[in-house]
Amino acid sequence: GESVEQHPSTLSVQEGDSAVIKCTYSDSASNYFPWYKQELGKRPQLIIDIRSNVGEKKDQRIAVTLNKTAKHFSLHITETQPEDSAVYFCAASKNYGGSQGNLIFGKGTKLSVKP
Amino acid sequence: DAGVIQSPRHEVTEMGQEVTLRCKPISGHNSLFWYRQTMMRGLELLIYFNNNVPIDDSGMPEDRFSAKMPNASFSTLKIQPSEPRDSAVYFCASSPLGPSNQPQHFGDGTRLSIL
């Protein structure tokens, strides 16, 4: 079935450094790729998303890149801050019957930013 | 915007009891998703609805689980009888419905403990 692999499972960086999280999806029909941030005990919150007709998208310190040929997409966080510490989930989705499909989530990456 | 509203926030009950989780999606959102989150299995989709119609319930683990969406502003997830392995955080999410996939917005979740 459809799957999304996410790496690494844990990531520790110094404040100010960059962090990169990578995901690979199995279904070539996937066309929507959101990223969620989940702080401890809280709900997942959408931080950025990208569609298959775009190769890169940026929002301040966060950027996402998509390589459709390789079925890879990545999250890049620059100038990391302690408040970036959280679990990050990637996901992939495709249309179903011409309408909304469900999200397949990666297993998550626990990011720790050390002051 | 009140966001997705779930109740209860916490539920502790004994094995064998019936459990009902409730969700009110964001007004105007016609897609609703039920997820379960555990350390071992991550975020799993249980079932989702488009326009109150169940589209994919392949993630529902057993016949003990059932979900309904009687109208556009309310959904329930029921477990009967409950078992200790059902202990998890259950999230509801909603999104607008369109020809292309739309961002999903999560509720605060219900933390369920079955003793």
pLDDT digits (tens, 9 = 90+) for A22-68: 999 999 989 999 999 999 999 999 999 999 888 999 999 999 999 99
Q: Is B108 in Cβ contact with A98 (below 8 Å)? A: no
Inform me whether the pLDDT recorded for B18 exceeds 70: yes
Q: What does the pLDDT read at residue A81? A: 97
Whole-number Å distance between alpha carbons of B109 and B30: 19
Sign for the pseudo-dihedral over CA of A90, A49, A17, A82: negative
Whole-number Å distance between alpha carbons of B35 and B53: 17
For the record, the structure tokens of A11 come out as: 């990531």
Q: Are strands A19-25 and A4-7 parallel, antiparallel or unpaired?
A: antiparallel
Whole-number Å distance between alpha carbons of A105 and A90: 6
Q: What does the pLDDT read at residue A103? A: 87
- Convert the pLDDT of each residue in A72-113 to its tens digit: 999 999 999 999 999 999 999 987 665 667 889 999 999 999
In chain A, % of residues over pLDDT 90: 83
Whole-number Å distance between alpha carbons of A70 and B25: 36
* Distance in Å, alpha carbon of A83 to nearest chain B alpha carbon: 20
Q: Are strands B110-114 and B88-95 parallel, antiparallel or unpaired?
A: antiparallel
Inform me whether the pLDDT recorded for B1 exceeds 70: no
* Distance in Å, alpha carbon of B81 to nearest chain A alpha carbon: 26
Q: What does the pLDDT read at residue B102? A: 85
How far is residue B75 from each of residues B6, B26, B56, measured CA to CA in Å? 10, 12, 15
- Using pLDDT thresholds of 50, 70 and 90, give the confidence band for residue B41: confident
> Which residues of B, range 51-90, sit inside 8 Å of A by Cβ?
55-56
Are B99 and A98 in contact by the 8 Å Cβ rule? The answer is yes
Whole-number Å distance between alpha carbons of A65 and A91: 13
Q: What does the pLDDT read at residue B69? A: 97
Using DSSP's 3-state secondary structure scheme, residue B36 falls into strand
Whole-number Å distance between alpha carbons of B73 and B95: 12
The pLDDT mean for chain B works out to 94
